[in-house]
Amino acid sequence: MGSLAAEAVGIMDPENPTKLETEAVHLSDGGSARNHLPNRVFVNRSLNLENIKCYGFDMDYTLAIYKSPEYEALGFELLRDRLVSIGYPHELLRYDYDPEFPTRGLVYDTMYGNLLKVDSHGNILVCTHGFSHLKGDDIHNYYPNLFIQRDDTERFYILNTLFNLSETYLYACLVDFFTSCTRYKNCTQGFQHGDLFMSFRSMFQDVRDAMDYVHDSGSLKDRTIKALEMYVVKDPRIPVLLSRVKEVAKVFLATNSDYSYTDAIMKYLLEVPASVKSGAPKRAWRSFFDLVVVDTRKPLFFGEGTVLRQVDTLTGKLRMGTYTGDLQHGTIYSGGSSDVVCDLLDVRGKEILYVGDHIFTDILKSKKRQGWRTFLVAPDLIKELQVWTDKRYLFEELKGLDVYLAEFYKHLDSGSHERPDISAIQTRMKMVTYLDQYVL
């Protein structure tokens, strides 16, 4: 299925960590052999596709898979350069993106400047300050209970998208630089330089502002369009997939990207040169969809939405007024809401299978507010499953040690006074558990 070979695993609902919130998850590598891991299908909930009347797709990191680490390196470069342009030290320019450090889902502590890897309950698994991995007492000094309140969004920021990878690495670079620079005095919540205090929170806000600038100014999109082959995976199976799906159901595209960028990316991915033998003309990318909506502003799109307007495809500008008519095939729409999509396509809730990459924006919101079936694209899970496979012997040893530990307590009850000596087992568990502790 091209870039949409499904791999299904559960996505935790933050409000109910025991509940699975998606039918399927895709692990994309841009096109490997049929029997390789990214092309195998796993399911966590049975879904009769005969009941699906409509398939919806996001674009970025869904139909358009960006090459890693090239794309993240580009994003990092633009962010870093933006900070330097607004007054940050030029020494930051010596930092280059390292794809081995960041991973999606880390949490940035805006009070102490730490990057945290936590489980679904908020228990801290890994803690770094800059590029220094903290241990034992160092972590306890910051977090006495080895626990954080994940719902404290004023303090903790979850870096949960693939676009956040470059941002994640930049936080580590900033902390590393200011910590090691002799011009700055290290403080608990930032750095002091004469009368200037640089807090981790203000640093966080500067990076977020830089991120908004890179996206809003169009600099990232411009660089991407100028070198599509360098940054975007061109999978020839995508047009085949969309053609087959459109034969049996309605298909729509709903993306936060603007029309100009969407047009450039879709032409690159879908407008394959016509075959010399067939003599057929090149197929326009819009013909693969029954409905195309840009500028959706998800997650707002799945709630009250915005004004639905038509796009003038010759100029890229929006036409005046709110569009209230029937669906016009070949027309590009801007804004709107998920309710509008349902009305235009004459489909409802569970008749739609929506494919996206953002756990919160694409998956949870579409399911909880609209009842849509969901399909999550998660290329980063390939590495997780590879680690599970490569380190399986360690997991098996931990399982065996756990069983062995249980045997010590098997015949003890509240009346037992002897404490079994489990120190050797605990030591071995720690050795096995933290063998690769320096990998986030």
Question: What is the chain's pLDDT, residue by residue, as a tens digit (440 residues)?
Answer: 333 333 333 333 434 433 334 566 555 555 444 456 666 666 667 888 999 999 999 999 999 999 999 999 999 999 999 999 999 999 999 999 999 999 999 999 999 999 999 999 999 999 999 999 999 899 999 999 999 999 999 999 999 999 999 999 999 999 999 999 999 999 999 999 999 999 999 999 999 999 999 999 999 999 999 999 999 999 999 999 999 999 999 999 999 999 999 999 999 999 987 665 555 678 999 999 999 999 999 999 999 999 999 999 999 999 999 999 999 988 999 999 999 999 999 999 999 999 999 888 888 888 888 899 998 888 887 888 888 889 999 999 999 999 999 998 888 888 888 888 999 999 999 888 877 553 44
| This prediction's pTM | 0.85
Out of 58, 295, 357, 362, the active site residue is 58
Burial 313-343 (b: 16+ CB within 10 A, else e): eeeeebeeeebeeeeeeeebbbbbbbebbbe
**pLDDT value of residue 122:** 96
What was the pLDDT predicted at 281?
73
- Cis status, amide bond into 239, omega within 30 of 0: no
Compute the distance between CA of residue 227 and CA of residue 74 in angstroms, rounded to an integer: 11
Please give the Cα distance from 20 to 45 (Å, whole number). 9
pLDDT of residue 280: 65
Q: Of the listed 60, 295, 357, 362, which one is catalytic?
A: 60
Annotated catalytic, 109? no
Q: Alpha-carbon distance 263 to 255, whole Å?
A: 11
Burial class (CB in 10 A: 0-12, 13-18, 19+), 21: buried
* Angstrom distance (rounded) from CA 100 to CA 368: 34
H helices within 112-234, ranges in order? 136-142, 164-180, 200-216, 219-226, 228-231
pLDDT at 388: 85
Identify whether 60 is a catalytic site residue.
Answer: yes
Task: Identify whether the C-beta of residue 20 lies closer than 8 Å to the C-beta of residue 364.
Answer: no
- What residues does 158 pair with on adjacent strands? 107
Considering Cα of 150, then 153, then 154, then 158, what sign does the dihedral take?
Answer: positive
Contact 72, 97 (CB under 8 A): yes
CA distance 182 to 174: 14
